Amino acid sequence: MVENNSSWIVIRRLRLPILIIIVTFAISILGMVLIPGQDSEGNVYHLSIFDAFYFVSYMASTIGFGESPYDFTYPQKLWVSFIIYLTVIGWFYGIGTIVALIQDEVLHKEMVKSKFAKAVRNMDESFILIFGYNSVTKALIRKLNQMETRMVVIDRDQQAIDALRLENYHPLIPAFSGDVFDPKVLEIAGIRKKNCRTAVILFEDEQKNTRASLMCKHLNKRMNLIVRSTSPQNSEFLETIGVEHIENPFEVISNRLYLALTAPNLWLLEMWIYGHLLKIKEREVLPRGIYIIYGYGRMGRALEKGLGKAGVEYRFMDAKLSLREYDASDSLYHEDEIEEKLIAAGIKEAAVIIAATRDDLINLAVIALSKKHNPSIYTISRENELIDLQIFKAARINRNYILDEIIINKTYNYLSMPLVNIFIEYLNHKDERWGKSLVDRIVTKMGENPNLCEIRISAEEAYAAVHELEKGRTITLEMLGRRREDYRIKNDLLFLMILRDGRPILLPPDHFEIAVGDELLVICLEESREDLEYILNNYYELYYVMHGKEKATGISRYLIT
């Protein structure tokens, strides 16, 4: 149970002011009651307790309606002039304390905290807990928000949280600035809640990631974790503690290079999922020959695996040695040394240069120097920071791998399009011929830029179909692929994969019968997607494509048939 501290702070701070007000009021009222006055006829008169309370109340609050019920005598006036100062000071002290309390930093923090805790508590849908608000998670949040996925964000930096609030996301994303390694903060962020489905931990610092994932695993065992990790040892450890999904951009790059070298069409299919056209451009064809890799770090080691598997000749150059000794006086980035190294590695007869250091400027320098010595060389670079995108674009690099972007796309797919992720996994087991035929099939049917969509055969997403299936009717994929305007014409769509009971079925045949609970991955166009959704959800449309005639209902059923 998360405590609500803000009301306690208010009560505690107001103790003394209220005490002072009570005591001063009590003294004043008692004095007013005891001191004798005179009524209009000159008789001795005592104020009743109620009269006194009434008078003191409006006097202390400086409202001041005048002397009541009769004009005061001098002894009374003497007492009143004393208690004016007594009660008014007490009153102002009380008000001053309340005003100071409103501006109080501690109270403000507590109020923000309880507001955040309440927002998280009130969330009934499943949500994703996101660690840190930076350029990577920002892009991810923006994409997920469009799908109306609920999220909670925590970051150590208050400014980052303020920036998130300014974005005005809808549905609302509760955000809180606090130590992300503090279990209490995680608890307020709802980590123990049943509907906290996934946590996304994508810091650049591997240690931070490991620490955060360990804590998450201890606080909530059922939660899925998506963690960025680039070193093999670290990834192994994360797997031991049961992290579901490890984001390693270097492995992705290595795998893509391998696919591009051995099966360009499979590579094309994967890239198409991330928004590439279904067509291999000329500058994307990787040449054969010697590959020179500048930088033997985490990326270099990952590339070694991919290139080795593809059977390409490669040479590594260690970027470390020279760059350890930075010397600002002669050349900031040791261009001479880079150049010497490149020549020594044989840049003149190399086919491809891969600049794979963790410094974007050095990568750019390597590319520029390689081009100087070998104008026809094929260039591949690694871009570490998303901000440098314009510079890399201007450098006319043949293939640019942006780490942040890879992570964003991969994570987004994992979270919102699980079927696509399974499909990509499958690509690795297929061969070039299979890929080529699939690409040709898609392109001839739907052009070079078709969409992908995921549909689940459930009451929410396929109302009519579920109803028919429950009645025992059979619906085949071929039926779903018919057009709404004429059932004899085939629609422009392709059922790429069906997931049934956790088992994927790649390219199911036309006579495949769907069942409730199936998940379909469909390649379609805007129009055919609309058709498919109508057919699955609307009785009349479904009946028409199944039987080729209109469904008759009500009285007309008896009249027509």
Partner 1 sequence: MNMNKVLSGFFFILAMTLNFGFFYGTPEVLAEHSKYELFAAIVVNLIATIFKFGDKTQVGSVLLATSLVADIQLIASASVWALAVYGLDAMDTEMSVAIISLSGGALLANITSVVIFVGDTLKSKR
Q: Which residues of the chain form contacts with partner 1 (CB under 8 A)?
A: 8, 11-12, 14-15, 18-19, 22-23, 25-26, 29-30, 33, 48-50
Residue 3 or 550 having the CB closest to partner 1: 3
Least gap, CB of 28 to partner 1 (angstroms): 11
Distance CA 4, CA 118 (A): 10
Taking the complex as a whole, the smallest distance from the CB of residue 18 to partner 1 amounts, in Å, to: 5
Nearer to partner 1, 5 or 145 (CB): 5
The two tokens of residue 456 are 């689940």
Q: Which is nearer to partner 1, 22 or 332 (CB)?
A: 22
Of 25 and 116, the one with the shorter C-beta distance to partner 1 is 25
To partner 1, the closest distance from the beta carbon of 210 in angstroms equals 37
Rounded to whole angstroms, what are the CA distances from 518 to 271, 501, 536? 26, 8, 13
Structure token digits, residue 35: 């001191």
Q: Which amino acid is at 238?
A: L
When the beta carbons of 13 and 211 are compared against partner 1, the nearer one is 13
Q: Shortest approach of partner 1 to residue 51 CB, angstroms? A: 9
Residue type, 89: I
Whose Cβ is closer to partner 1: residue 14's or residue 88's?
Answer: 14
Please say whether the beta carbons of 334 and 304 come within 8 A. Answer: no
| Least Å from the CB of residue 97 to partner 1 | 13
Q: How far is the CB of 145 from partner 1 (least distance, A)?
A: 39
Choice between 59 and 439, CB closer to partner 1: 59
Which residue, 69 or 447, is less far from partner 1 as judged by CB?
69
In the complex, least distance from residue 100 CB atom to partner 1, rounded to whole angstroms: 17
Q: How far apart are CA 44 and CA 513, in angstroms?
A: 104
Q: Between 21 and 80, name the residue whose CB sits nearer to partner 1.
A: 21
Distance CA(428)–CA(345), nearest Å, equals 32
Sign (positive/negative) of CA torsion 462, 468, 470, 475? negative
Closer of 46 and 142 to partner 1 (Cβ): 46
Tell me phi and psi for residue 524, to 5 degrees: -155, 175
Smallest gap, in angstroms, from Cβ of residue 65 to partner 1? 17
At residue 219, the 3 state secondary structure works out as: helix
**Which residues have CB under 8 Å from 23's CB, separation 6+?**
90
Q: Which is nearer to partner 1, 32 or 407 (CB)?
A: 32
Q: Which amino acid is at 203?
A: F
From 122, 157, 161, select the one nearest 141 (Cα to Cα): 161
Helix ranges restricted to H, 247-355: 249-262, 264-273, 298-310, 320-324, 335-344
How distant, in Å, are the alpha carbons of 191, 211, 513 from that of 173? Answer: 15, 24, 41
- CB neighbours of residue 179 within 10 Å: 11
Read off the DSSP letter of residue 380.
E
3-state DSSP call for residue 316? Answer: strand
| Residue 48 CB, nearest approach to partner 1 (Å) | 7
How far out from the chain centre does Cα 356 lie? 28
CA distances from 332 to 238, 250, 344 (A): 38, 27, 21
Shortest Å distance, C-beta 12 to partner 1: 4
Pick from 284, 252, 267: nearest CA to 436: 267
- The 3-class secondary structure across 72-118, one letter per residue, is CCHHHHHHHHHHHHHHHHHHHHHHHHHHHHHCCHHHHHHHHHHHHHH
The residue (of 12 and 471) whose beta carbon lies closer to partner 1 is 12
Report yes or no: 199 and 222 within 8 Å, Cβ to Cβ. Answer: no
> Shortest approach of partner 1 to residue 72 CB, angstroms?
20
Report helix, strand or coil for 392. helix
Cα-based torsion angle of the residue sequence 412, 413, 417, 419 in order, rounded to the nearest 10 degrees: -160
Tell me the closest approach of the beta carbon of residue 1 to partner 1, in angstroms.
Answer: 13
